[in-house]
């Protein structure tokens, strides 16, 4: 029988499950809690490396469960990986070292209120932002979180000038780590929550990037949610393709994402 691994990186925990590809039955699952750091009122951040560590721990645990269930269960039975993730949470890192410039700013972090107010003042209400992005103007979305980290980190400012820095929502960060820095990618659902993605052309919008003060060069390549997101080159899942990425609120459950991943895997 063939199986797929689902990784669900949420705000409060990371979960991993193994599903069979026939009907999506869960055969192994594990979760790890994630700490949110609140330095002061309105602040919410998480350590990107601890997020990554939680993913590794979840993968190892479910694989141990799976392999112990039957002698016929081997890593060769695992055919694909799918990822769902918390929306808007923002990570920026050095492309060469992989080191984040700051903790991940979580979706509900409100430290960028003043940036939002200044942008509205400078750009006349952000020229009907919804026409381009489908979103209202709000501090929830990744654009102003990127701007805050860029303002905070001199290293980030210098690195982006020479094309040596990356931005990503959590899906992008996990792809980068799972493929050992080979792929800087995201899907349309995550890209659409940045306020930098033009839904009319299905691509990053240079005008929006300029208005928000975000260098377009730091943004990941955008793909459809069910696509080839590279091959894992880390740990026991080495050689397994990542076939689906979708932000958590866009699906009813991780199971739905994984069943679709399984269907696509059978077609390739």
Query: pLDDT tens digit string along 86-95?
Result: 989 999 999 9
Domains of the chain by residue range = 3-267
Closest alpha carbon to 165 in 117, 101, 112: 101
Q: Quick one: pLDDT at residue 201?
A: 94
Nearest in space to 82 (alpha carbons), one of 242, 211, 263: 242
Q: Does the model's pTM come out above 0.85?
A: yes
pLDDT at 20 over 80: yes
Q: What is the pLDDT of residues 160-202, one digit of tens each?
A: 999 999 999 999 999 999 999 999 999 999 999 999 999 999 9
Measured torsion, CA atoms of residues 260, 68, 61, 79, in degrees rounded to the nearest 10: -30
Q: Is the pLDDT of residue 263 over 80?
A: no
Give the tokens for residue 87: 């929306």
The bridge status of strand 185-187 relative to strand 104-105 is: unpaired
Superfamily of domain 3-267: ATPase, nucleotide binding domain (3.30.420.40)
CA-based nearest residue to 36, from 109, 100, 115: 109
Residue 265, CA atoms < 13 Å, CB-side half-sphere: 25
d(CA 45, CA 48): 9
| Pair of tokens at residue 62 | 């479910």
């Amino acid at each position: 029988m063939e199986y797929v691994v689902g990784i669900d990186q949420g705000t409060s925990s990371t979960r991993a499950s193994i599903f069979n590809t026939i009907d999506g039955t869960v055969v192994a699952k594990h979760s790890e809690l994630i700490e949110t750091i609140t330095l002061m009122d309105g602040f919410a951040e998480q350590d990107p490396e601890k997020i990554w560590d939680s993913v590794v721990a979840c993968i190892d645990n479910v694989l141990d469960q799976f392999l112990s269930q039957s002698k016929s269960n081997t890593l060769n039975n695992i055919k694909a990986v799918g990822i769902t993730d918390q929306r808007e949470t923002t990570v920026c890192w050095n492309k060469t070292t992989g080191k984040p410039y700051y903790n991940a700013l979580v979706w509900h972090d409100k430290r960028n209120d003043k940036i939002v107010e200044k942008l509205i003042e400078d750009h006349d209400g952000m020229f009907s932002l919804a026409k381009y992005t489908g979103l209202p103007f709000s501090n929830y979305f990744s654009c102003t979180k990127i701007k805050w980290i860029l303002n905070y980190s001199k290293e980030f400012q210098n690195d982006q000038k020479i094309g040596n820095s990356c931005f990503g929502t959590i899906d992008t960060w996990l792809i980068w780590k799972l493929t050992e820095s080979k792929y800087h990618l995201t899907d349309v659902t995550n890209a659409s929550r940045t306020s930098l993605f033009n839904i009319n052309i299905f691509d990053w919008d240079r005008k929006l990037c300029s208005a928000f003060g975000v260098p377009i060069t730091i943004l990941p390549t955008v793909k459809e949610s069910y696509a080839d997101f590279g091959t894992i080159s880390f740990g026991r899942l080495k050689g397994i393709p990542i076939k689906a990425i979708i932000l958590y609120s866009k699906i009813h459950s991780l199971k739905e994402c994984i069943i679709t991943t399984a269907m696509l895997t059978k077609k390739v």
